[in-house]
Chains A and B, each alone.
Chain A
Amino acid sequence: MKSTCYLIVLSLVLLISCKPGPDPIQYGFDGCHYCSMTIVDKQHASEFVTQKGKVYKFDASECMINFTKDFDSSVIALYLVNDYNNPGVLVDATRATYLISENIPSPMGAYLTAFNSKEEANIARDINQGILLSWDELGQRLRN
């Protein structure tokens, strides 16, 4: 009985650990994989997770996109970015809305900020001006 219990727990652990998931960023300790800067900004950090579960962390969304230029993007399972209005919270980067506005500086000089909801991004755009982009539009813009 006991051994089956162990078996179940063990298999659960294996199952959970095999699924690639986000890894919390340790602000002030982790370094950016692209530019080596220490990650401290809880509103602009980002990370992606490969299918094998390896996590690459970045201090800014622009660093993540620049890094993936030379990276086989087919192995990436998850893209995550900080939501500007919830410092420290990582959200799905591919569904976020991006604001490029000179009035909100981002760590690597792209003035790029991510918002989880489109409404909040609209509000921020009204206050700070700039342009709104989707994930795909952003990718095209930065890759060229």
Chain B
Amino acid sequence: MLSFFLSLLLSCGLAQNQTTIEVCPGCKVGSIKEAIAMASDFDTILIKKGTYNEFNILVDKPITLLGEASATIDGRDQGEIFRIVSDHVTIDGLKIINVGTSYTSDYAAIRVVKSQHFTIRNIVLEKLFFGIYLERSDNGIISNNKILGDALDEYNSGNGIQLWYSKNVVVEGNLVQGVRDGIYLEFADHITISNNHSKDNLRYGLHFMFSNDDSYTDNIFENNGAGVAVMFSKRIKMERNTFRRNWGTASFGLLLKEINDAEIIGNTFEKNTVGINVEGSNRINYLRNNFIENGWAVKIMGACYTNAFRNNNFIYNSFDISYNSKLNDNVFDQNYWSDYTGYDLNRDGIGDVPYRPVKLFSYIVNRSPETIVLLRSLFMDLIDFSEKVSPVFTPDNLADTHPLMKKRI
């Protein structure tokens, strides 16, 4: 009954406010600011094609800004373009270029401040500083935007999509490239990030700081300074993502630092310097991931407890696992290791001798990185073999006692 009245009320409200204001260069309404000033709540402003030289546009009422194809806002490097300070604002289908650069005010193409129920979609951003910046704003959608930065050798750049103190936001289907961090979350909880493509960014494709209960699935992180960094966060779900070609001395596919209770399931780590770098992280399940042709598949730096690696494929990595501390209570079980040379006499698909994934040489490289030049030398093969036969330096219980004979597909 209540919902019936509510919907009646809502439809009345909509029926009253169905006006569309058209904006085009040379029309009666020639600027977006003018149109916003004229509009009443829940109006639509249709921005016809053309270039609008405007900046510091304040959106302070619930309206929809709809851009026609090739409607462009040129900020001429003067400042931020949109500042949304009202609930229920939609910005759809605009191209925004030349956002101003300021290190103290962090100019953004679209900044949402203390607002709810916003939608930002089908936007193309070029020549930007910060792209989409949410500030204490909840319950919104950021989808199908293209953020094309040009921060290739200029390190003073902003982030593509930044969420700061925001909750319940969906970020999906965006392309972010050439900025500092593709997507950056700081104090952002209950965020869903899916089907995004984040590449060629200076620092991270995706970066979590002090954020909890978030998930990211089906994204591609490619050729970034480092793929994804999850730091000081709890209960993050990471599923079916691809981390590839994150090369460089300080580079990782995935960096985990001080995080707890995470699930890392079904991801692919391909051709990274380090697939996953883990430090101070507890109760993490690594299931059904593929580690293919990385320098190090997994590097565990210490203070890690109750982690489990099960059913993963480790295929042609220079080092599968690097460990510089005690095993603690971490488990490696039923993984496939391409380096495994054991046998399976009873044909149950599980190797009859345990596999020890840590090479002695990886210890030496950990202590003095320069020794990496000896990687392919016979001497190292010899000491690795002798360590495999009778472990002295590596934790002797660090072994997969049920290594799979065939890779898990």
Which residues of A are in contact with B by a Cβ distance under 8 Å? 27-31, 35-38, 40, 42-43, 87, 104-105, 109
Contact = CB atoms under 8 A, between A and B. Distances in A.
B229 interface: yes
B346 interface: no
A40 B202 contact: yes
By CB atoms of chain A within 10 A, which of B232, B249, B250 has the most?
Answer: B250
A29 B248 contact: yes
B210 A36 contact: no
Contact of A35 (B186, B210, B231, B251): B231
B223 to A, nearest CB: 13
B277 A28 contact: no
B367 to A, nearest CB: 15
B108 interface: no
A38 B248 CA distance: 10
Interface in B314-357: none
B203 A43 contact: no
A104 to B, nearest CB: 7
B204 interface: yes
Given A43-B103, A87-B156, A109-B210, A35 B225 contact: no
A38 B225 contact: yes
Nearest to A59: B203
B45 interface: no
B4 interface: no
Interface residues on B, range: 20 to 34
A37 B229 contact: yes
Interface string B215-244: 000000000011001011000000000000
Interface of B: 103-104, 155-157, 180, 186, 202-204, 209-210, 225-226, 229, 231-232, 248-252, 255, 257, 277, 279
A31 B103 contact: no
Contacts of A104: 104
Given A38-B204, A87-B156, A28 B257 contact: no
Nearest to B180: A40
Given A27-B155, A87-B156, A36 B203 contact: no
A104 B204 CA distance: 21
A40 B203 contact: yes
Contact of A87 (B103, B202, B203, B210): B103
A5 to B, nearest CB: 33
Contacts of B209: 109
A29 B103 CA distance: 21
Given A42-B155, A43-B103, A36 B257 contact: yes
Contacts of B155: 27-28, 40, 42
Contacts of B248: 29
A28 B225 CA distance: 7
